[in-house]
Amino acid sequence: MKFHQIPPGAAFRYRETLYRKVSPLTGANEADGSHKLIPRSAEVTLSDEEGPATAPDSLPSQLATRAIEELVSVFPQIAARLDPPLSPSQFSQLEQLWTNAAQDVLARLAIEP
């Protein structure tokens, strides 16, 4: 099964480690809570230890906030890969745009940033 096919909150194994899906891009290590970016196309196995995978009725606000913050945190790395590189002014503008976008999503979800 591919990572993108499992629902949020489902426990799964990826490279011999047990994770729980916390966002479309990340899994939380069940042992230490650390987050790992996992490719959508990665082969994963649903964990039998956690019972059947079911999508939660709602996503807890703390989990949603953490997922959005994690997504925002990778934007500088993504922007740094652009070719040609952004000027400092362009980078600053882009950074402000993604910060505003994250705050807008949190506001739409009625979560304080």
For residues 41 and 65, state if they share a domain.
Answer: no
pLDDT of 64 reads 79
pLDDT of 49 reads 53
pLDDT of 48 reads 67
Q: Specify if 73 maps to a domain.
A: yes
Q: Specify if 55 maps to a domain.
A: no
Q: Specify if 65 maps to a domain.
A: yes
Expressed as residue numbers, the domain containing 20 is 3-46
What the block records as the tokens of 18 is 């047990």
Split into its structural domains, the chain has a count of: 2
pLDDT under 70: residue ranges of the chain: 48-60, 110-113
For residues 34 and 68, state if they share a domain.
Answer: no
pLDDT of 110 reads 64
pLDDT of 87 reads 94
- What backbone phi and psi angles, to 5 degrees, belong to 6? -90, 150
26-29 and 17-21: which strand pairing? antiparallel
For residues 13 and 36, state if they share a domain.
Answer: yes
